[in-house]
């Protein structure tokens, strides 16, 4: 009988060998993952093949993006299309699943002025509203959320630097629910903020540690929480390095992770950065483990950065 990991209503069997890459390929690290309506998994990574497509069994069935993406960050599947946020290129692209570019928002390699509030300076993620509007978290060089029409017209922006409601300290990810509410992973404020579709503040969820990945599937909200990284606290246990599951009101249903960051055990994480679920409720977790841990080793190493968690019901 396979081992089951997790706490509360968040229990999984973990398949560490799910992804079967061709010889000579690697992910380097996985910034984000998305799953389409046929349960094909799109892995947005920082290796030589930026977008790798896997079937449900983990076999590679395609790849694209070579020479296009500078630094993969966020990928979203919605309405039959992929929305790719490239924070190194300062652009967001709407693409077909096989890589045809339909819309490019932002000017490649030409960021808006740093902290200007104008789109984009290192955007991080895209979410779609029920009416097809786009919400884009503009997170590393700005503290803004931008709302676009389905055709790519900027409609409004909101957010300033700070810790008060409606302010941000690194807008790292964005999701929407079926009612059109907008959820923002306000990473360095250790919270998720919730807004209506026009950017009006509704509430916030606290008691999260550096919420990084954010994914909504029906009435479940999945949050990837980073561990501490300051020299003074980086070895503290039970802080971050986990994926938590919540209802739409923010109530904690359960979580999976180790007491400390690492990869010695199947349930441990270094840096859960991107999350997606399939039609079976299975969870895919991408990690920026090289940035968080591997690059600091001598010699540098590439730790585990993608796994499939098979939900136990």
Contact 158, 166 (CB under 8 A): yes
Q: Is the domain defined by 5-311 classed in CATH 3.40.50.980? A: no
How many angstroms separate the CA atoms of 114 and 91, rounded? 15
pTM to 2 decimal places: 0.97
Asked if omega into 74 is within 30° of 0 (cis), the reply is: no
DSSP 185: E
Neighbours of 105 (CB within 10 A): 22
Q: What is the distance, to the nearest Å, from the Cα of residue 15 to the centroid of all Cα atoms in its chain?
A: 20
Task: Give which of 153, 143, 95 is closest to 120, Cα–Cα.
Answer: 143
Contact 213, 273 (CB under 8 A): yes
3-state secondary structure of 89: coil
Residue 10: partners with Cβ closer than 8 Å, 6 or more residues away: 243, 244, 245, 253, 254, 255, 256
Q: Convert the pLDDT of each residue in 83-136 to its tens digit.
A: 999 999 999 999 999 999 999 999 999 999 999 999 999 999 999 999 999 999
Residue-range domain boundaries for the chain: 5-311
Neighbours of 70 (CB within 10 A): 16
Token readout for 219 is 């009435």
What does pLDDT average to in each consecutive run of 10 residues of the chain (313 residues)?
Answer: 84 95 97 98 98 98 97 97 98 98 97 98 97 96 98 97 98 97 98 98 98 97 96 93 97 95 95 98 98 96 96 92
């Amino acid at each position: 009988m396979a081992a089951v990991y997790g706490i509360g209503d968040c229990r999984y069997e973990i398949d560490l060998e799910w992804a079967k890459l061709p010889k000579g390929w690697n992910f380097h690290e996985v910034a984000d993952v998305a799953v389409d309506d046929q349960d094909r998994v799109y892995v947005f990574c920082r290796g030589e093949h930026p977008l790798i497509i896997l079937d449900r069994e983990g076999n590679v069935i395609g790849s694209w993006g070579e020479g296009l993406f500078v630094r993969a960050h966020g990928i979203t599947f919605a309405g039959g299309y992929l929305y790719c946020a490239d924070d190194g290129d300062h652009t967001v692209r709407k693409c077909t699943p096989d890589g045809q570019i339909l819309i490019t928002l932002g000017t490649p390699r030409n960021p808006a002025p740093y902290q200007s509030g104008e789109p984009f300076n290192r955007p991080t993620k895209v979410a779609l509203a029920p009416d097809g509007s786009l919400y884009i978290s503009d997170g590393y060089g700005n503290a803004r959320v931008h709302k676009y029409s389905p055709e790519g017209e900027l409609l409004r922006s909101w957010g300033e630097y700070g810790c008060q409601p409606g302010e941000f300290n690194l807008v790292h990810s964005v999701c929407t629910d079926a009612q059109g509410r907008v959820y923002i992973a306000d990473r360095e404020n250790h919270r998720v903020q919730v807004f209506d579709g026009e950017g009006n503040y509704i509430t916030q969820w606290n008691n999260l540690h550096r919420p990084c990945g954010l994914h909504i599937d029906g009435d479940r909200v999945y949050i990837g929480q980073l561990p501490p990284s300051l020299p003074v606290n980086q070895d503290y246990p039970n802080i971050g390095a986990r994926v938590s599951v919540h209802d739409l009101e923010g109530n904690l249903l359960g979580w999976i992770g180790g007491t400390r960051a690492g990869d010695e055990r199947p349930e441990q994480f270094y840096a859960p950065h991107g999350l997606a679920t399939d039609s079976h409720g299975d969870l895919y977790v991408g990690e920026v483990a090289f940035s968080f841990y591997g690059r600091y080793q001598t010699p540098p190493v590439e730790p585990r950065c993608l796994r499939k968690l098979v939900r136990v019901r």
